[in-house]
Structures are given as C-alpha cells and as structure tokens.
Amino acid sequence: MYFKNMKPKSKIGILGVGAIGTVISYELQKSDSHVLFYYNRTKKDCLKLISENSECEIPINIETSITGSPKLDWLIICLKEHQYSKAKYWFKKLISPKTQIAVIRNGINLKAPLLDFAAEKNILECMIDCPIQLQNEGSYKVIRKPILTVNKSPIANNFKLLFDAQSIEVNQTKDFKTANWRKLCESATLGAILCLSGETCWVFQDKKMRDLYRNIITEAVLVAQADGAKIESSFINEMLIKLMTYPDTKSSSMLIDRLNGNPIELGAKNGVISDLGKHYNVNTPMNDLIVSLLSKTNREDKA
Ligand SMILES: NC(=O)c1ccc[n+]([C@@H]2O[C@H](COP(=O)([O-])OP(=O)(O)OC[C@H]3O[C@@H](n4cnc5c(N)ncnc54)[C@H](OP(=O)(O)O)[C@@H]3O)[C@@H](O)[C@H]2O)c1
C-alpha cells in the first residue's frame, strides 16, 4: 500500500567495503530509513565485524561492476588514497547531480579527485578516528567507537542524520583544515619513523629518535602553516609529550601495511608534505628522503 506522506528511503552507496567501509556499512544497516548498495573491487558475501566482544556476519550483495546508474542520494567513499585513480570508473556511474558524497580517508584535500564528477558543495571531507584490526577469516575488529570529524556545513548536518548518534560520533568543526593537518603531521611523522625502522614505539626511548621525530614534524608543521592551517608552535612539544605516553608496542598503519606486504599510503602522508613543501617553497629534506626511501620499495596496489 502507498502512503502519501511516507518519507522515501535514502539510497546510500558504499564504495570500498574494507575496514572502514565495513564499520560504516554496519552502522548504516541498523536503520530502516536507508537502502544500501555495496560496491567493491573484490566480491564478498557478508560484512564480518567484531565489536564490544560480539561477533556478527551480515549477508550483503556486493557489486564489483556496474552498468546502470542507481541515482544515489549518498555515496560514501572508503578507499585508500592510492586506490582512487583506478576507482574513477565508479565515480562516473555512481554520482548524479543530486548525490551527496562523503569521502572518508587519511590525508588532505580529499575533495580533489572528485571535482570532475561532482559540485564541491556536494562533497564532504571526513577525518576518521577508528582503529580496526583485521582478524583471521576476514573479520574486522573495532577497537573504539568511530569518531568522524567534518567541516561545519549544511551537508555535514545531513550526513550526521544518517547515523545513530549513540554508535557513531560525527563532530563538526569550524576549521577542518587545521584539524586534518594536525592529524596528518602526527601520523606521517610517527608512521615514517616506525615504518623505516621496522619497530614499534619503543624506539622513542632513545633521545636521537625523539630528535628525529621533532625534525620531521617541524617540517610538516611549516608546510601545514603555509597551506593555511592554524597550528601553534606549542603543538610540536605537545606531540613529543604525547609520544612518551604511548605503549612500547604501539604500531602505526604505515608499519602494519609494510609488514603485511600492502601498499603504504605514502602519497597521503609524507608525499603530500613533500609536494606541498615544493609548492610553498618550504624545504622538507627529511620528508623528501622518507618519500625516496619508501617509494622505492612501496608495493603497487592490486589491479
Ligand atoms: N583501517 C583503519 O583502522 C583506519 C583507521 C583510520 C583511518 N583509516 C583510513 O580510511 C581509509 C580506508 O582505509 P581502510 O583501512 O578501510 O582500507 P581497506 O581495508 O584496504 O579497504 C579499501 C577497500 O576498497 C576496495 N577497493 C580498492 N580499490 C577499489 C576499486 N578500484 N574499486 C572498488 N573497490 C576498491 C578494496 O577492495 P579489495 O577487497 O579488493 O581489497 C577494499 O575493500 C584509508 O585512508 C585509511 O588510512 C583507516
């Protein structure tokens, strides 16, 4: 039966059903107000998630190619930076003028790869804090409740309404650029040192390693400031103090990718610091060296 005042369900596509895509899908599928469409490079038949010690397997239908256009209300993109060039095929098919797009990934300038396909006002950049571990048999274990940070805007209000506020936090900030740069400076510096040393945070017991951290993050902060981020000079000391609170066994996504033989998100981290350094005439010799050393051996992503 058709009810005249019944609100139509939102059609939401999730592109990239890996670690982050699985967590986001899991939260969205809890609501009756959405119809979900899943798109991924490799076929999977369910979302497998472990959270708060409960395990779930939710059957889903993943499309690995597409012919028509589903006229999505939302497209949520959960790809890694180096996966974007091969994923352009999807953008053309999945984005219509009415589609609002949320880009969830590490790095800065997250709208750039989508501007040929969508109006800027329809794209929302999302920074996510959500450590996830891949377990045996392809289950993703969520260590902490996801926190998304986005720029305060009408599209951000719409995005927030897609989720149950109890299970996923969507924080709006007036200065997304600064928040995102702070995260990038920190993660690129920690990630590079751990990845190149092949060791976890115990290495920072050595003052020489802390000095190295200071030098690398100082370059990153100078580039961030040149790009318009409002990062105070006290930030570097704050990060060094924070570094000393980490357990010796703390790792980083760059080290984990390296040890697992996966491509590292180098372009989204030290790569962008080095490139923008050249753009703004800020010298970044440490980050340039990191990029040279890591790109030489960085793996190509799957076709
Ligand atoms: N994982 C975390 O704990 C975490 C935490 C914070 C932030 N992040 C950030 O979130 C972003 C996403 O990371 P992630 O960990 O979710 O990555 P991921 O687990 O590697 O997931 C990426 C997914 O995208 C799919 N994919 C790749 N290329 C594709 C293409 N051309 N077409 C369709 N699907 C494609 C992959 O398919 P396959 O199944 O074929 O590989 C995979 O399922 C990254 O920027 C990451 O740094 C991650």
Q: What is the CATH number of the domain that holds 56?
A: 3.40.50.720
Q: Give domain status of residue 142, yes or no.
A: yes
**CA 173 – CA 151 distance, rounded (Å):** 5
Q: Are 59 and 108 in the same domain? A: yes
Query: Quick check: is 246 in a domain?
Result: yes
User: Edge to edge, what strands does the sheet with 100-104 contain?
Assistant: 62-63, 34-39, 10-15, 74-77, 100-104, 123-129, 147-151, 169-173
Claim to verify: residue 138 and residue 16 sit in the same structural domain? yes
Domain identity same for 153 and 286 = no
Residue reference for tokens 């996923």: 168
Per-residue pLDDT of the chain (303 residues; tens, 9 = 90+): 445 567 788 999 999 999 999 999 999 999 889 999 999 999 999 999 998 778 899 999 999 998 888 899 999 999 999 999 999 999 999 999 999 999 999 999 999 999 999 999 999 999 999 999 888 778 999 988 899 999 999 999 999 999 998 889 999 999 999 999 999 999 999 999 999 999 999 999 999 999 999 999 999 999 999 999 999 989 999 999 999 999 999 999 999 999 988 999 999 999 999 999 999 999 999 999 999 999 877 777 766
Please tell me the distance from the alpha carbon of residue 119 to that of residue 104, in angstroms, as a whole number.
17
Tally of domains in the chain: 2
Structural domain includes residue 303? no
Nearby residues of 93 by Cβ (< 8 Å), 6 or more positions away:
66, 68, 69
Is 139 found in the same domain as 124?
yes
Q: For ligand 1, is residue 286 a contact (CB within 6 Å)?
A: no
The verdict on residue 18 lying in a domain is yes
Q: Is the CB of 41 under 6 A from ligand 1?
A: yes
H or E segment at 258?
helix 253-259
Q: Please, is 78 exposed, middle or buried when counting C-beta atoms within 10 Å of its C-beta (0-12, 13-18, 19+)?
A: buried
Residues 79 and 150 in one domain: yes
Q: Identify whether residues 97 and 119 lie together within a single domain.
A: yes
Which two tokens mark 197? 């040393």
Radius of gyration of the chain (CA): 20
Whose Cα sits closest to atom 11 in ligand 1?
A: 105
Q: Which residues contact 264 (CB under 8 A, 6 or more apart)?
A: 191, 195, 254, 257, 258, 294, 298, 299
Regarding the beta carbon of 76 and ligand 1, being less than 6 Å apart is answered: no
Using the mean position of ligand 1's atoms as its centre, give its distance from the Cα of residue 112 in Å: 18
Is residue 5 a part of any domain in this protein? no
For residue 48 and ligand 1, the question of a CB distance below 6 A is answered with no
Say whether both 64 and 190 belong to one domain: no
State the DSSP H helix or E strand holding residue 62, giving kind and residue range, or none if neither: strand 62-63
**For ligand 1, is residue 132 a contact (CB within 6 Å)?**
yes
The total number of residues written for the chain in this structure? 303
Q: How many CB atoms lie within 10 A of CB 290?
A: 27
Domain around 219? 177-295
- The verdict on residue 2 lying in a domain is no
CATH of the domain at 266: 1.10.1040.10
Q: DSSP letters of 225-245?
A: HHTT----THHHHHHHHHHTT
Distance 236 CA to ligand 1 centre (A): 30
Q: Is residue 150 part of a domain?
A: yes
- Output the CA 140–ligand 1 centroid distance in Å: 12
Q: Is the CB of 254 under 6 A from ligand 1?
A: no
